[in-house]
Structure 1
């Protein structure tokens, strides 16, 4: 029993401090730029309007107050997206599709398991969270949240701001945006999300002689580049960080972004 417990702690610790690499799933890397179809995300927007609130530097979700009807609406929205073949959409429509699907599925998982202290409590016995679990089937292919983020969004768009768009239902995560992503507002929302996060203490906390950065910048260092490139990225949204020096540490709060 002691050996099993030690193995469990080792596996959980490993999962905590490791992150999937960006590895393209080629099947999803196509589009139809002539397609004028626009996917409606109004159902997701209605849920955000009803249950997302701002509290200081955080946006919090009122998971415990989601009505039975809205739970059904959320599942219907996810199901409706899963019936689409995103490869037939424009790239702009696809990006909004994948980000909204990721965030909607995450909220759905929390609502189903609520009350829960952290998303990391979901998943199997040896899992650190639900990211490796099959959560949606599209075109007959089972996808996990990791697939959506690390095999589709990251490698196809190669935009580090994607880390500010997808939300892991945790206080340490970049805020869930109050607007659903669309083909028209994606650039605006990505810039807004980046600026908000980098100017928050959970993004970059400056202390005497050192700086505490979100673990996102450690886990996904390949997306943000070397130290100088990371500083350039941060200072674009927070100019005083151009002079960032000294010791850098990393921190992340996995507590649920819950508004009770």
Structure 2
């Protein structure tokens, strides 16, 4: 029994340290670039305005899961149902990006609320899993989807934009902030830029401690998304404030990684 437990713990640690690869799900390639229609995300905006504190003194946005009232829980459920009833392939590519990001973040909050109180989203999976990432959580156009499907089979391979890591929130203190605005075809570029800049200039993203460079484990999980070691350094320098950029340019020492999975609640 002890040997089986040890093997399980080793496998679990390996799964945490290695993120899924980006494997394109070709069925989601289609779009209608001639269509001018926009997807309504106003219900999700109501919840963000009411329960997300994006001005927390820590610099980490907090979602007030504990005080979401029954009416707003139902509003969230209806919003997820309405998005899931759409076929995003009938919209433009820009509209699709906002659709998938908003759906992912709304599903994360919905999952936490269903099990709240919890200390970490990592406790929401089966006993043998690290979190709920592989569980089917919605169905779109007849396809059952997990959070990992949305992130690793749709968003990452189809858009190939490293900044999407700053758009997806995993309900954890170590994660980039959930944006206070819903994503749309019109504001996605602005929000992606703001998210990258905010995370890289916060200590949980990039910091120097005891002569070491300490980075979020996001950069360890997805090195190829950022262009490998050289591409990542250029990415960090591009978004870093001047003083931090100078430190990054001059740094030649060791790099450590960390991540805080505690729930992003007040």
Regarding TM over 0.5, the answer is yes
Query: Aligned partners of 1:22 and 1:232: how far apart in 2?
Result: 22
| Deviation readout 1:45-90 (Å, 9 max, x if unpaired) | 1100000013221000000100001001001000000010000110
Which of 189, 192, 195 is the aligned partner of 1:193? 195
Give 1:107 shift. Answer: 0.4
State the match for 1:214 in structure 2.
216
Q: How does 1:51-90 map to 2 (within 5 A)?
A: 51-53=51-53, 54-55=55-56, 56-90=58-92
User: Contact conserved, 1:210 with 1:245, CA < 8 A, in 2?
Assistant: no
Query: Aligned partners of 2:63 and 2:255: how far apart in 1?
Result: 31
SS at match of 2:118: coil
State the match for 2:122 in structure 1.
120
Give 1:12 shift. Answer: 2.0
Give 1:197 shift. Answer: 0.1
Query: Aligned partners of 2:11 and 2:128: how far apart in 1?
Result: 7
SS at match of 2:61: strand
SS at match of 2:162: coil
State the match for 1:251 in structure 2.
258
Q: Give the TM-score normalised by structure 1.
A: 0.97
SS at match of 1:201: coil
Gaps of 5+ in 2: none
Query: Aligned partners of 1:116 and 1:258: how far apart in 2?
Result: 10
State the match for 1:16 in structure 2.
16
Q: Structure 1 stretch 40-49 or stretch 220-229: which is displaced more?
A: 220-229
State the match for 1:204 in structure 2.
206
User: Contact conserved, 1:11 with 1:126, CA < 8 A, in 2?
Assistant: no
Q: Give the TM-score normalised by structure 2.
A: 0.95
Which of 83, 87, 103 is the aligned partner of 1:101? 103
Which of 110, 132, 135 is the aligned partner of 1:133? 135
Give 1:208 shift. Answer: 3.6
Count of residue pairs brought into register by the alignment: 259
Q: Structure 1 stretch 212-221 or stretch 5-14: which is displaced more?
A: 5-14
Corresponding position: 1:175 with 2:173: no
Gaps of 5+ in 1: none
| Deviation readout 1:87-128 (Å, 9 max, x if unpaired) | 011000000000000000000000111000100001112110
Give 1:139 shift. Answer: 1.0
Q: How large is the RMSD of aligned CA atoms in angstroms? A: 1.0
Give 1:232 shift. Answer: 0.6
